[in-house]
Amino acid sequence: MRILYWFKRDLRLKDNRGLIEACKKSQEVIPVFILDQELLQELEGPASRNGFLLDCLRQLNHRLEKKGSRLYGFYGQPERILDRLISELKVEAVYTNRSYSWQGERTQKKVEALCQKKGIIFKDFNDSLLVPPEKIQARKVYSPFFRLWRMALAGEDLSVWPEPDRLQTPELNWPSLAETFRLVSHQTNRYWKPDYAERRLKQYDFKGYDEGRNQLDVDGTSRLSVAIRFGLVSIRQVLARARKSLVMDSQFVKELAWREFWYHIRHHFPWTENLEFQEKRRGLKWLNREEDIRALEEARTGYPLIDAAINQLKGEGWMHNRARLVVASFVTKDLLLDWRIGEKFFKKYLLDYDEVVNTGNWQWSASVGADPRPFRMFNPVIQAQKFDPDCRYIKKYLPELKKLSCRQIHSLELPEYYPPVVDHRAATIRVRQVYLNRA
């Protein structure tokens, strides 16, 4: 049987469930990757998403070549390209790993319908989640979800599968990856290289996560979100490494579950793609002032922690998780900007952008989403004092403040710097009035 294997967010050979199953079922597997023109978006600045993706594809192709295979790349709409490939190659099956995002699922359903129409086998496999969302009853709050998730985890195959020994792929007269994507605008990503993933997974001290995860001025987080997003390592590999040092109730494992909670919400409540989970919080009177949006995007809000975080995001394509929480609170609560504006802003720059997790987290930060809690709003000054006490993070990403003392920075005594776009105390009163009117 000739199988066409469709790579998506699983750019690796080791513990790739769909690819390994394809190799078990057939002696002839044709690996393809399709750069979806509708989803293609270049990161602005030095942290090129396209550049990183193409580096990942080159790495994958290099590893496939060592197995006697190669990766064939295409650019366009997946269903149209696969329609042509199925006919040209006379494949008998299409294998892939399951898409759980809104856009990914829509595309996959088109491909599945195409295979059914052509009378060939279509098989997809859960590869990106530890527990598929359909195996857990619908829960709107994280804590009961986590209890069910942890119990369901015991019934899942969490073993890390070795990569295939060899792939048999026919020699096809198709362009190389470089030729296929030469017209795709991209620049080299200065900050992230694909080979970081396995090295980081091996070297990261998971024991230090609880203590270091919130400190902005230390390398305390795993930084594996980019690797997970592109499938450079499997989620089972990450859990296996974490469990060597941590118990199942550890904060790091809870963070893995938190990611899956948003996929759980997306599965059971799919309308949350563009609509607030909480009905009572729909139609909030957002201010959405253009001058505030510009100040945010240009990192001149007048709050050093916020501006430093924006510069990290735009420069590196990544933002520290604690900074993400503070920025999201500032955007939705202090500035009263619609959470959708914040979601699109992160989408524009984040290398690890995941539409399901990003949407869930922005709704949660705006107090309009699932897992409702008592209304919470971060003070950006207090957060800076607590999590960047020596101003190392702020001064790294705001070099113009390097000569100022930390006391000046934390007290907002900033000569020749931008004045605050909003007074936090006044904003606290204002936002509570707006939310109380929708309670």
Nearest-angstrom CA–CA distance, 358 and 356: 6
Write out the residue range of the structural domain in which residue 82 sits: 2-127
Question: Position of tokens 């579950």?
Answer: 257
β partners of residue 29: 3
Two tokens at 254? Answer: 């809870």
> What pLDDT does 182 receive?
74
**Are 191 and 46 in contact, with CB atoms under 8 Å apart?**
yes
Nearest-angstrom CA–CA distance, 287 and 431: 10
Instruction: Collect all residues with Cβ–Cβ distance below 8 Å to 3 and sequence separation of at least 6.
Output: 22, 25, 26, 28, 29, 30, 91, 92, 93, 94, 95
CA 208-210-216 angle, 5° bins: 85
> What pLDDT does 188 receive?
74
- Rounded to 5 degrees, φ, ψ at 164 are -60, 145
| Cα R_g (the chain), whole angstroms | 23
Residue range 139-166: average pLDDT? 96
Task: Name the domain count of the chain.
Answer: 3
> What pLDDT does 167 receive?
94
> What pLDDT does 39 receive?
65
> What pLDDT does 48 receive?
78
Q: Is the same domain home to 232 and 332?
A: no
Higher pLDDT, 186 or 277: 277
Two tokens at 381? Answer: 């000054």
Q: Is the same domain home to 47 and 152?
A: no
β partners of residue 97: 125
Q: What is the pLDDT confidence band of residue 200, given thresholds at 50, 70 and 90? A: very high
Q: Is residue 207 part of a domain?
A: yes
pLDDT tens, 29-61? 999 999 887 666 655 556 678 889 989 999 999
**Are 13 and 197 in contact, with CB atoms under 8 Å apart?**
no
3 state SS of 7:
strand
Q: Is residue 304 part of a domain?
A: yes
pLDDT tens, 314-331? 999 999 999 999 999 999
Report percent pLDDT > 90 for the chain: 86
> What pLDDT does 247 receive?
82
Residue range 87-93: average pLDDT? 94
Quote the mean pLDDT of the chain. 94
CATH of the domain at 16: 3.40.50.620
Distances (CA, A) of 200 to 9, 130, 228, 414, 418: 19, 20, 12, 38, 37
Q: Is the same domain home to 92 and 204?
A: no
Residue range 164-177: average pLDDT? 89
Higher pLDDT, 400 or 35: 400
CA 391-394-400 angle, 5° bins: 110
Q: Is the same domain home to 261 and 348?
A: no
Q: Is the same domain home to 389 and 301?
A: yes
Q: Is the same domain home to 215 and 335?
A: no
128-132, 184-188, 369-373, 396-400: the lowest-pLDDT one = 184-188
3 state SS of 125:
strand
Q: Which residue, 233, 242, 200, is CA-closest to 219?
A: 200
Alpha-carbon torsion, ordered 96, 19, 245, 220, to 10 deg: -60
pLDDT tens, 222-244? 999 999 999 999 999 999 999 99
Is residue 353 scored above 60 in pLDDT? Answer: yes
Is residue 394 scored above 60 in pLDDT? Answer: yes
Q: What is the pLDDT confidence band of residue 180, given thresholds at 50, 70 and 90? A: confident
**Are 4 and 82 in contact, with CB atoms under 8 Å apart?**
yes
Q: Is the same domain home to 257 and 307?
A: no
Nearest-angstrom CA–CA distance, 285 and 287: 6
pLDDT tens, 261-274? 999 999 999 999 99
The Cβ-side half-sphere exposure at 15, using a 13 Å CA radius, reads 20
Question: Position of tokens 């510009």?
Answer: 294
Question: Position of tokens 């203590």?
Answer: 211
Nearest-angstrom CA–CA distance, 380 and 377: 9
> What pLDDT does 50 receive?
82
Q: Which residue, 132, 163, 161, 158, is CA-closest to 239?
A: 158
- Rounded to 5 degrees, φ, ψ at 313 are -60, -50
Q: Is residue 351 part of a domain?
A: yes
β partners of residue 76: 36
Nearest-angstrom CA–CA distance, 39 and 186: 15
CATH of the domain at 227: 1.25.40.80
Q: Is residue 177 part of a domain?
A: no
Q: Is the same domain home to 422 and 432?
A: yes
Q: Which residue, 6, 7, 3, is CA-closest to 232?
A: 7
Residue range 267-282: average pLDDT? 96
Two tokens at 331? Answer: 């955007």
CATH of the domain at 290: 1.10.579.10
Q: Is the same domain home to 414 and 311?
A: yes
Q: Is the same domain home to 430 and 303?
A: yes
Single-letter amino acid code for the residue at 65 = E
Helix, strand, coil shares of the chain, percent, nearest 5, are 50, 5, 45
> What pLDDT does 215 receive?
97
**Maximum C-alpha span of the chain:** 71
3 state SS of 420:
coil
Edge-to-edge strand ranges of the sheet holding 2-7: 72-76, 28-36, 2-7, 93-97, 121-125
Residue range 338-364: average pLDDT? 96
Q: What is the pLDDT confidence band of residue 185, given thresholds at 50, 70 and 90? A: low
**Are 268 and 354 in contact, with CB atoms under 8 Å apart?**
no
50-54, 65-69, 280-284, 424-428: the lowest-pLDDT one = 50-54
Nearest-angstrom CA–CA distance, 382 and 126: 42
Q: Is the same domain home to 57 and 104?
A: yes
Q: Is the same domain home to 292 and 386?
A: yes
Is residue 154 scored above 90 in pLDDT? Answer: yes
Residue range 125-140: average pLDDT? 97
3 state SS of 265:
helix
CA 21: distance to chain centroid? 26
